[in-house]
Structure 1
Amino acid sequence: MWFTTAWLLGACCGLTLGLDIYDGPKPDLSDTPFGYAAASTGGTTNVSAVYVVSTLADLKEAAELPYTKTIYVNGTIHGNELDDGSMADCQTYIDTTGSDNSASRQFNFTLYILAFNETYTALVDAAAEAGETFEGRNATEYSELLSHQNGWRPTVVATQKSQVGVRLTNNTSLVGLDTSAALDGINLYLSSIDNVWVRNLKLVSPADCFPAPETFPSSWNAEYDAVGLVTSTNVWVDGCELQDQLSGEYVVPDELDGWQVDRFDGLFDCEDGTDNVTFSHNIVRNHHKSLLIGGGTKEADRDLGKMHFTIFGNHFDSSASRNPLMRFGTFDIASNLYSYANDAEPLFEAAVERRADGPADAVFQYHLGVYNQSTVHVRANAFVATGAYATDASRLFTVSEATLPERPAHVCVDSASTSTLNGEAVDMDMVAQATVDYFVEEGRAVEGAVLVTCDGVADEGYELPVVLASGEDVEQYVLANAGQV
């Protein structure tokens, strides 16, 4: 038997467990981390602390163990799986918030959105003042109900968050047994921990039942990432597939009162002094804001001198932006494949040929976001574009928050390797400089706040698993090595 039910005391910890110990076949994965996470070791091969999980309850129990462990995921684990085996939906989270008589159980997402519509609420209030009904309701009671929706939202959000969140602890390897291994609608959360491997998993971010609108009609603040790192160190995420649903297809926003409701946040977001991370051999699919590294300008004091990331051998497949977005840290962007449909108007290079065979509604925005005080080393990446502006290079980079020439961001393009766009060599130095010049001319960046140079940029001091000198080699390598096995 591969699975042995273990009712035992956790070594050194005095914990009684009901988890399955696993000593069966393992996926064929390298055990050698590299890049900035090279010092990480993950979990253990000691069979007494190697478990297999196939339910959310077991995953949460195993993840919380305070000692070194390896957790294998067998099959698909759903974030909305309740303890009785049934599946929660958005109404479940409302109906189970607070006590039976809790007022917050009157929350309704449609009413929450309607409450932002001042024209609509004015009509309700006018009907209330006139002592009339509105849409068949008592207008006075309805006005009161609308006024409470925003206050009730945080309580129902907390209910969903408690259900779909899984917190990892120090010295953990979380590994999929095979290509069927998936965390569907689960938010993996690493907070102030060290030494974690997440490998060979399909990581499907939770759809936020109750996102908050920001800017009409399509900007939203959703709650959950597939993986979130806060003040965590020595983390290796390798051979995973990050997306918004199990099929990997793009999730079209819901339409509600003129809003396009986007229920997804990032796929891999890192902040608050997270350090020494390698993100490698992953596939990032059909998402709009994929990798956010550095949470905001307010976090500068916590991030500066930390935030070292290796982004190697990944396939960004129809990832619309943040591939990645980079603030404050040091980033090695090496040998990644970007495949995408570019139907967005060029920012510059007006002579780019426009094709007429692309879809009408573009999703793609940009790939590499050079933000506040980041140092970005770019070497041998392959860009493969279709769409109306397949030959446009003006959106390979973007620049933002570039306001401090006394503390500039740096873009260092490796001179020993070649990046390509649709198989043709692309001068990334020239493209990066043209991007900076464009944003300066537009008044959206300050002269000297982003420097395109390798002067003063230190070598990473490590070796990658393979050195790929051309975009053609990158494409072949990534297609052969990215994703689950």
Structure 2
Amino acid sequence: MLNSPRLPPQEIKVASDTTIIGANSKAVLTGFGLLVKDQKNVIIRNIAIKEVLAANADALGIQKSTNVWVDHVDLSSNLNHDKDYYDGLLDVTHAADWVTISNSFIHDHWKASLVGHSDSNGAEDKGFLHVTYANNFWQNVNSRGPSIRFGTAHIYNSYHNNVSDGINTREGAQVLVESNAWANSKKALYSTNAGYAVANDNDFGSSSNEALKGTLTGSKLGYSYSLVGSSKVKAAVVGSAGNTLSF
């Protein structure tokens, strides 16, 4: 009989009607992440996931699932390796729908977060991929901050520091960008292949809005929300975003 160290799973699959809550900041997954696939009604709160190798998939993957809330998570790797050493931190793909990512710290990574995984997947994705990013802190990110294909996204009350390639709206996506601020960032908001955005009260810092004018407005979202204002968003999210809760 051979004795060997027990290896962590490549990823943990999360079932429908499941809530995962970290008791405090010590709730950390290292080297493996979570997958929500073909499920519904999932809540993931107050955990950290870090350094998930590309061979072990994304830190947090959401596929073909509906009504998923990701709140107060800390997602990271590092920038010490090439861009393919790790995969995505938080990817929403394969016609997932009604997903919210809030109060989270997304940092130190090459390819942070995408909505829609391929330019050729429109047949599956169109009409789905409704995603909200609210009150998040993005820092030291090279790209996908986030990248949105085909879907409908609302990005508000978020602070972006040292993000090289920020919000990329593409392949017909409609994005509403409100009450955000960027610092030390190169490309804050831009279009690829006919992606669209409406931008209200954003401080792009030394960058700018290069996206095609979209049509998405708050009245079309189907929910109410509060904006803190681009001048106050840094103070509102830095220090509170991430796995900062205690239960």
The verdict on a shared fold, with TM-score over 0.5 as the criterion, is yes
Compared with structure 1, are the counterparts of its residues 383 and 365 closer, same or farther at alpha carbon in structure 2 (3 Å cutoff)? Answer: closer
Q: Residue 235 of structure 1 aligns to a residue in which SS?
A: strand
Q: Residue in 1 aligned with 2:220?
A: 459
Compared with structure 1, are the counterparts of its residues 271 and 262 closer, same or farther at alpha carbon in structure 2 (3 Å cutoff)? Answer: closer
Q: Residue in 1 aligned with 2:59?
A: 226
More strand by percentage: 2
Q: Residue in 2 aligned with 1:252?
A: 80
After the TM superposition, which residues 143-158 of structure 1 pair with which residues of structure 2 at under 5 Å, given as runs?
none
Q: Residue in 1 aligned with 2:190?
A: 398
Deviation at 1:305, TM superposition (A): 1.0
Task: List gaps (5 residues or longer) in structure 2.
Answer: none
User: Equivalent pairs: percent with the same residue?
Assistant: 25
**Which protein is bigger by CA-based radius of gyration?**
1
Stretches (4+) displaced over 4 A:
455-458
Aligned counterpart for 2:11 among listed residues 159, 165, 190: 165
Q: Does 1:478 align with 2:237?
A: yes
Compared with structure 1, are the counterparts of its residues 320 and 251 closer, same or farther at alpha carbon in structure 2 (3 Å cutoff)? Answer: closer
Q: Residue 287 of structure 1 aligns to a residue in which SS?
A: strand
Q: Distance in 2 between matches of 1:224 and 1:321?
A: 17
TM value normalised by structure 2: 0.89
Q: Distance in 1 between matches of 2:104 and 2:218?
A: 27
After the TM superposition, which residues 105-120 of structure 1 pair with which residues of structure 2 at under 5 Å, given as runs?
none
Per-residue CA distance 1:410-439 (angstroms, 9 max, x = gap)? 21123xxx21245x9x8xxxx43xx35xxx
Q: Residue in 1 aligned with 2:50?
A: 204
TM value normalised by structure 1: 0.47
Aligned residues between the structures = 242
Q: Distance in 2 between matches of 1:289 and 1:320?
A: 6
Deviation at 1:302, TM superposition (A): 1.4
Compared with structure 1, are the counterparts of its residues 198 and 308 closer, same or farther at alpha carbon in structure 2 (3 Å cutoff)? Answer: same
Q: Does 1:287 align with 2:109?
A: yes
Compared with structure 1, are the counterparts of its residues 455 and 380 closer, same or farther at alpha carbon in structure 2 (3 Å cutoff)? Answer: closer
Deviation at 1:202, TM superposition (A): 0.5
Aligned counterpart for 2:139 among listed residues 300, 317, 340: 317
Task: List gaps (5 residues or longer) in structure 1.
Answer: 1-83, 89-159, 209-221, 245-249, 254-259, 341-363, 403-408, 437-450
Q: Does 1:188 align with 2:10?
A: no
Deviation at 1:233, TM superposition (A): 0.5
Q: Residue in 1 aligned with 2:68?
A: 235
* Matched-pair contact (CA < 8 Å) for 1:412–1:457: no
Bigger relative contact order (CA 8 A; separation at least 6): 2
Deviation at 1:300, TM superposition (A): 0.9
Q: Distance in 1 between matches of 2:79 and 2:53?
A: 10
After the TM superposition, which residues 363-402 of structure 1 pair with which residues of structure 2 at under 5 Å, given as runs?
364-385=163-184, 395-402=187-194
Q: Residue in 2 aligned with 1:446?
A: none
Deviation at 1:323, TM superposition (A): 1.1
Q: Distance in 2 between matches of 1:284 and 1:232?
A: 22
Q: Distance in 1 between matches of 2:236 and 2:174?
A: 26
Q: Residue 477 of structure 1 aligns to a residue in which SS?
A: helix
* Matched-pair contact (CA < 8 Å) for 1:366–1:398: no
Q: Residue in 1 aligned with 2:120?
A: 298
Q: Residue in 2 aligned with 1:86?
A: 5
Compared with structure 1, are the counterparts of its residues 456 and 227 closer, same or farther at alpha carbon in structure 2 (3 Å cutoff)? Answer: closer
Compared with structure 1, are the counterparts of its residues 420 and 164 closer, same or farther at alpha carbon in structure 2 (3 Å cutoff)? Answer: same
Q: Residue in 1 aligned with 2:202?
A: 419
Per-residue CA distance 1:211-250 (angstroms, 9 max, x = gap)? xxxxxxxxxxx55100111100000000010011xxxxx2
The letter of the residue matching 2:242 is G
Deviation at 1:176, TM superposition (A): 0.6
The letter of the residue matching 1:294 is G
Q: Distance in 2 between matches of 1:251 and 1:87?
A: 28
Compared with structure 1, are the counterparts of its residues 474 and 231 closer, same or farther at alpha carbon in structure 2 (3 Å cutoff)? Answer: same
Deviation at 1:87, TM superposition (A): 4.9
* Matched-pair contact (CA < 8 Å) for 2:175–2:214: no
Deviation at 1:262, TM superposition (A): 3.6
More helix by percentage: 1
Compared with structure 1, are the counterparts of its residues 251 and 480 closer, same or farther at alpha carbon in structure 2 (3 Å cutoff)? Answer: closer
Q: Distance in 1 between matches of 2:52 and 2:234?
A: 30
Q: Residue 238 of structure 2 aligns to a residue in which SS?
A: helix
* Matched-pair contact (CA < 8 Å) for 1:337–1:478: yes
Q: Distance in 2 between matches of 1:182 and 1:223?
A: 16
Deviation at 1:197, TM superposition (A): 0.5
Q: Distance in 1 between matches of 2:217 and 2:42?
A: 31
Q: Distance in 2 between matches of 1:473 and 1:365?
A: 22
* Matched-pair contact (CA < 8 Å) for 1:303–1:329: yes
Q: Residue 316 of structure 1 aligns to a residue in which SS?
A: strand
Deviation at 1:271, TM superposition (A): 0.9
Deviation at 1:85, TM superposition (A): 8.2
Deviation at 1:326, TM superposition (A): 0.1
Compared with structure 1, are the counterparts of its residues 372 and 170 closer, same or farther at alpha carbon in structure 2 (3 Å cutoff)? Answer: same
Q: Distance in 2 between matches of 1:262 and 1:410?
A: 28
